[in-house]
Amino acid sequence: MLTSGVPDDLPQSGEDEVLPPPKRPLGQGGGGQGPAYAAVAVGGAAGALARYGLALALPPVPGQFPLATFLTNVIGGLLIGVLIVLLTETFTAHPLLRPLLVTGVLGGFTTFSTYAVDVQHLLAAHAIGVALGYLFGTLVSALAATWGGILLTRALSGALSGGVR
């Protein structure tokens, strides 16, 4: 029998040897994630408010194509493609810009949970064709918009820099 109480003949998991990280006094962080969490939270709140505003401007009609959610996901996908190129390939960006803008703002703006609920509501309203068109149309359009944002931004940034990156 080991000191951990595990019989000698059982494989050891190694968990007995795991030690917690050393405690650091407040203010002496070694690159902690607090600022990134704050950036995501602030950005997420802004993105969710923008999505809410679009939903108010284009309220859903039962049994009809949910335009606000569709536009939210397609516009969000396009902007994700644009920002990923700008923040990782074109500019030397502050390390918190990507968590703020992409994960935060656009993560809070885009909504695949509402998309799934919209499909469920369309099916419940017996709008099968609209539900299937929306289900596949949103997925394809959002992915195409992201890819298009990447390609367009790369082309424009290459043209503006004289073809040199």
For residue range 109-142, list pLDDT tens digits in order.
Answer: 999 999 999 999 999 999 999 999 999 999 999 9
pLDDT at 10: 47
What type of residue is 69? T
Q: Is residue 19 part of a domain?
A: no
Q: Is residue 65 part of a domain?
A: yes
Q: Is residue 11 part of a domain?
A: no
Q: Is residue 112 part of a domain?
A: yes
For the residues 29-40, what does the mean pLDDT come to?
A: 83
State how far Cα 46 lies from the chain centre.
Answer: 14
Q: Is residue 58 part of a domain?
A: yes
pLDDT at 11: 46
Q: Is residue 126 part of a domain?
A: yes
Instruction: Say how far apart CA 108 and CA 59 lie, in whole Å.
Output: 19
Q: Is residue 28 part of a domain?
A: no
Nearest to 83 by CA among 130, 144, 32, 153: 153
Q: What is the pTM of this model?
A: 0.77
**Number of domains within the chain:** 1
Domain that holds residue 135: 35-160
For the residues 39-65, what does the mean pLDDT come to?
A: 97
Class of residue 148 by CB neighbours under 10 A (exposed 0-12, middle 13-18, buried 19+): middle
pLDDT at 156: 94
By three-state DSSP, how is residue 130 classified? helix
Q: Is residue 6 part of a domain?
A: no
